[in-house]
Structure 1
Amino acid sequence: MPSILSFPPIPKPARRGFTLVELLVVIAIIGVLVGLLLPAVQSAREAARRMQCSNNLKQITLAMHNYESSHRKLPTNYTNGTSTAGNFSVFAQMAPFYEQGNMLDMIHFDRPLHVGCCPGQLVAPHDTAAATAIPTLTCPSEANDQTFYVTSLSGSGPTQAYAGTNYAMNTGTGVGTLYDTRLPTDGVSWINANVGFEAIIDGLSNTAAFSEHLLGQLEQSPSEPTIDSMRRRTMFDVTCAFISRTMPPSEPGMTGYVLPEDPNLMEAYTRASSLHRGWSGQRGAGWINGREYWTGYTHYHPPQSGIPDMQSCGWGVFGVRSNHPGGVHAARCDGSVGFVTESIHLDVWRALGTRNGHEVMVEL
């Protein structure tokens, strides 16, 4: 019989896995790539947010132009009889002109916005409108909660919800006693103003109309802010000690409170004042309400200032700030929107805030 040949089994190739060192190297490479890619992604997202914010201001300013064409004046805060406790904001007045038809069903200009004071108690259906956020009035870079819960009637009334806004109308420089907008200011808005485009003698392209600010703290009366991010959202709360209580007042400002020209002196000046009584967190707390600390701003502070704002019963100085790196958007009365850097000279920034300062602006 022929012999049966036998062969040794063919060995299977050994399976080779990653060593621990190789695995750590791969993880390190992935980490480096993510570290390189993440800032680019964040930068692209912020660029998109900045574009959307600029477009929001463009839409708001276009609505202002349409309002002016219909009424022959710009929208402004106004009195209801002798009351200056706040009525429908400029944004509420312009609602028909930036495609907020659903808001028009909830806003009745023939009825009071609210009753009482500081702030008043919202009257239905305005309470529903006040709590409804409007995307056009919100900066996409804003990180804070947009809904504020405000206790009405100086703390004795019900707590009501307000949707905040990151945009505000220019009430002027706020220097000296110009923070008191019961009388005409050097801006384009004050209580019962009757400003048409013909009154802006510096030129529409040389005069600011709207800019942006960060929303305040959700607390009505927060503790003293200790870090920069909180200081930029919190206001000095100053006693409402106006010299004249008539409307219009016979004399502007509060007793013993005349703001210095240099905003760097404002904090020490306010702290030393006998009128300083604590802190307020309601910056931008309601788009529907026509009070300056909610829907107005001044050119007193430079953009992105770390010095807190000041409010007294709704009036005061309110800076422009944003979460955009390096500056803020500002819309001019001609409808153009530009990015204003935080390094802008204060004199130039204030010149942009005046309607009749006889300044000729250079490109920002």
Structure 2
Amino acid sequence: AFTLVELLVVIAIIGVLVGLLLPAVQAAREAARRTSCTNNLKQLALAIANYESAFKIFPPGRTGCDGINTGPCNGDNAYQRVGTSGFVLLLQMIEGNSLYDQFDFSDGPYAQTGTWAPKNKVGIETRPEFMVCPSDTSQDFVVTSGLNAATGSYAFVHGTMGPSHGISAAMKVDNTGVFVYRYAYRPSDVIDGLSNTMFIGEVIDAHTNLSTNIWTQAGRHESCLRTTENPINTPPGTGITTSPYGIALNGAFASRHPGGANFAFGDGHVTFIAENIDLATYRGLSTRAKGEAVSAP
């Protein structure tokens, strides 16, 4: 039989071993989550490529009306589908055709934005697995306009023109990235090269009004259109911000992976970019045709 001293020694040894093994177990679990996140982004990048193959253009970052009378708000044409993120259009290419069919974009009660029409309830409240990073601890839904709008972990790269430009209408359409309001670019427009141009990045904190990231909605700075004006992992409400609704929005990309975030590029590859990357390089990777002398990590 063990004496009390021997038992305490054994317990102490077990405690030390657990203390040594736990970080390794946690690191392994995070590595698995990061791999899953990478696969999600590869799937989305492939969907963009398939969309371009089918329609000869990339999907717009946001379709239709921007809520301030600068474009058509109603209609059946894809580029009149109001206030909807390009991720919804990608459902046609990513095993989500049945979900895509749940959306009716003809009209809606929220500033004429069809995204929020009650008849779109099923689509708005569905959270596809490929839109969620396993490391993202955000809550699954945001209550808005009487609906439980599903959140996501990814956003299109809008370009370099971020919160310092406020709510400029020109910024919405003329930003420097591939994904903008109501306009669809072609591969030939990406003069900087598809392999050097970020298409999609990670976002977090969807449970706050500083970063709602409703995946069906393409709102600047706080939803599915983000910029590189602020560094990766700039905390919500800090850095360069704009407050169009009395809320400080910074539009930053961010993740729960230690030290940076995953980004999908135009050629389909996915790279983890460190949060301490040179800001000029980071911004250069987000433009489609500025000619910066940068290349993907």
Cα pair 2:285 2:296 within 8 Å, conserved:
no
1:177 alignment partner AA:
H
Alignment of 1:302 with 2:235, yes or no, is no
SS at match of 2:51: helix
SS of aligned partner of 1:330: strand
How big is each residue's C-alpha offset from its partner over 1:60-80, in whole Å with a ceiling of 9 and x where there is no partner?
011011111222221111224
Call closer, same or farther: CA 1:85–1:66 in 2, change over 3 Å.
closer
Letter of the 1:107 partner, please give it. Answer: F
Aligned length: 277
- For the residue of structure 1 that corresponds to 2:159, the secondary structure is coil
Q: Percent identity?
A: 34
Q: CA deviation at 1:315?
A: 11
Counterpart residue number, 2:281: 348
- The reply on whether 1:78 has 2:63 as its aligned counterpart is yes
Residue by residue, what CA displacement relative to the aligned partner does 1:307-339 show, whole Å, maximum 9, x if unpaired?
A: 355452699641111110111001111111101
1 or 2, which has the higher helix percentage?
2
Runs (5+) with no aligned partner, structure 1: 1-16, 153-158, 219-279
Matched, 1:129 2:129: no
Distance 1:137 1:216 in 2: 12
> Secondary structure in 1 aligned to 2:14?
helix
Corresponding position of 1:167: 154
Task: Choose which of 312, 325, 329 in structure 1 pairs with 2:244.
Answer: 312
Paired position in structure 2 for 1:21: 5
Matched, 1:57 2:41: yes
Q: Return closer, same or farther for 1:340/1:358 CA change in 2, 3 Å cut-off.
A: same
Separation of aligned partners in 2, 1:341 and 1:64:
24
2:201–2:264 contact (8 Å) kept in structure 1: yes
- Residue pair 2:153, 2:202 contacting (<8 A) in 1 also: yes
Counterpart of 1:353 in 2: which secondary structure?
A: coil
Residue identity in the other structure for 2:202: E
CA drift at 1:354: 0.8
Alpha-carbon separation, structure 2, partners of 1:310 and 1:215: 17
Q: Deviation of residue 36 (structure 1)?
A: 0.9
Structure 2 partner of 1:230: none
1:131-154 CA-to-partner distances (Å, cap 9, x unmatched) read: 11111000100112121112x2xx
The 2-side partners of 1:85 and 1:318 are apart by: 23
Closer/same/farther in 2, CA of residues 105 and 186 from structure 1, 3 Å limit: closer
Q: Which residue of 1 aligns with 2:216?
A: 288
Taking a change above 3 Å as real, the CA distance of residues 119 and 148 of structure 1, as seen in their structure-2 partners, is farther
Root-mean-square deviation (CA), in Å?
A: 2.5
1:359: how far off? Answer: 1.7
Partners of 1:33 and 1:162 in 2: CA distance: 44
Question: 3-state DSSP class of the match of 1:92?
Answer: helix
Tell me, in whole angstroms, the C-alpha distance in 1 between the residues paired with 2:113 and 2:101. 23
Distance change >3 Å, CA 310–CA 118, structure 1 → 2: farther
- Give deviations 1:89-130, integer Å, cap 9, x for gaps: 111011011111330331234x33x32239878324311111
User: Which has more radius of gyration?
Assistant: 1
Asked if the contact 1:95/1:104 (under 8 Å) is kept, the reply is: yes
SS at match of 1:73: coil
Taking structure 1 as the reference length, the TM-score comes to 0.70
The unaligned stretches of length 5 or more in structure 2 are 66-70, 74-79
1:141 correspondence with 2:129 = no
Correspondence for 1:193: 183
Secondary structure of 1:125's match?
A: helix
The answer to whether the 8 Å contact 2:139/2:206 transfers is: no
When residues 213 and 34 of structure 1 are mapped into structure 2, their CA distance, relative to the original with a 3 A threshold, is same
